[in-house]
Amino acid sequence: MKSLRCILAYPKILPSRLFHGFYKNNHVRCFATSSSVQFPIQRVGIDANEEFIQVKYQNGETESFPWHFLQDNCTCPECFHTASQSRTKRMTTLDLSKSVKSASVTDNETAVKLTWSDGHEGTFSEEWLKARSFSKANQNFRRTGFRDEPELVRSNYPIRRLDFQEVLQDDAKLLCCLKDLCKIGVVILENARKEVGQLKELANKIGFIRTTHYGNEFTVQSIPDAVNLAYTSTALTVHTDLPYYVSPPGVQALHCIKQFYGEADKNLGGESHLVDGFIVAHHMKENYPELYETLCNTPVEFYDIGEDYTKFYKIHHSPTFVTSPSTGNLTRIVYSNQQLSSYLPIDLHKAKLLYRAMKCFTDLCYHENYLMRFKLCEGEVLIFDNWRFLHGRSEFDPSKGERHLEGCYFDWDEVISRVRVLEN
């Protein structure tokens, strides 16, 4: 077994000191070093053979930019709408036969001025050019990145705890919360009021709630004739939520309003279970590679039928381990034994291997090295990565006490967007 900080061979993120700031700069929002000139331009040349512009900076660095890229990204008023940060020039008007007739450095050495063969002119600042470098380092930095280097966690990992009200009131605390969520995958907020509506306040700080067929916020209580097993007192096997969605919500929040304590001397039931699916997958990849590949390459069917916020009939086929087409890295776990359909869309002879793989994955999820067991206290909000962490609970007896949680979902797009806004 690898150490706690083992990584699934994800690409490294360029240190943030190299490019600092995220703002509008005469074009799409970009990372740049500063509003001051950091890289004065010494000279610019035209490479007609490669159809490149070569820019040499006074620090000795040289970078090249394709003609067609610069033509497509011209920031002049004729080609670009500054207020909306959008191109107005259509791709159909791009003339690939156009060449760069002349290239020069502006008098203050802060920009490159180009004139194309049809007389059109464009000016590109050193900030703009440097931020759009074609270097491998810059390409890696511009990727989403925030979930690319997860810190894998075992059962004894000390989950970070932050004060709920401080997260609402202090952007630095909110940023800390969200960055931990990206990297670690789980965080607990304490001291929320023990009443419904707290998650909506949190959502207003992050962005907005992801609506599903269970509504915006949803109530987790034991009720008769429940449309979801979560709304019963039955034990829930660890799972990711909404696997029957083509794109399941990336983040889930659960606010404990009333905890089940049962008999005073026992305090049994209603225990939360949480496991990092990525570390379990990593274990399988190293120790059971055939079973790992089976879960990467074998789609199974998940479904949900009923009526709540609306009537629904969801069906989706997905492998348990979803990987990136470009890198092969694990990006998402999609698994719920409760919602696994009895329709198995695979070859008859592959069924046994699939069940071996699913059994291995589930058993490892419950291994003492990986499964976290704890009881949320009233007023605590558990927030976790629904694409990575599986969650469940132990059975409880509703005749001996009440258990009331409120939940909601967020999309990773909104969470990561908020991180970028808060950082800059």
φ/ψ region of 123 (left if φ > 0, alpha if ψ in -120 to 50, else beta) reads: beta
| Digit-coded pLDDT (tens) for 348-373 | 999 999 999 999 999 999 999 999 99
Give the model's pLDDT for residue 227: 58
| Digit-coded pLDDT (tens) for 15-64 | 232 323 333 333 333 333 334 567 799 999 999 898 999 999 999 899 99
Does residue 417 contact residue 207 with C-beta atoms inside 8 Å?
yes
Give the Cα separation of 161 and 264 in Å (integer): 27
Give the model's pLDDT for residue 263: 63
Does residue 332 contact residue 238 with C-beta atoms inside 8 Å?
no
For 237, the token pair is 């096997």
Give the model's pLDDT for residue 10: 30
Tell me the pLDDT of the chain (424 aa) as tens digits: 333 333 333 333 222 323 233 333 333 333 333 345 677 999 999 998 989 999 999 998 999 999 999 999 998 999 999 898 899 988 988 899 999 999 999 988 899 999 999 999 999 999 999 989 998 888 776 665 788 889 999 999 999 999 999 999 999 999 999 999 999 999 999 999 999 999 999 999 999 999 999 999 998 876 656 556 566 667 789 999 999 999 999 999 999 999 988 765 455 778 999 999 999 999 999 999 999 999 999 999 999 999 999 999 999 999 999 999 988 999 999 999 999 999 999 999 999 999 999 999 999 999 999 999 999 999 999 999 999 999 998 887 777 788 899 999 999 999 999 999 999 8
Give the model's pLDDT for residue 104: 94
> Is domain 161-423 given the CATH code 3.30.420.40 in the classification?
no
CATH code for the structural domain at 22-142? 3.30.2020.30
**Run of H or E including 220:** strand 218-220
Query: Where in 2-77 does DSSP place strands (E)?
Result: 22-23, 30-31, 41-47, 52-57, 62-66
Residue from 311, 303, 376, 370 nearest 340 by CA: 303
Give the model's pLDDT for residue 122: 92
Domain boundaries, the chain: 22-142, 161-423
Does residue 270 contact residue 403 with C-beta atoms inside 8 Å?
yes
Give the model's pLDDT for residue 313: 96
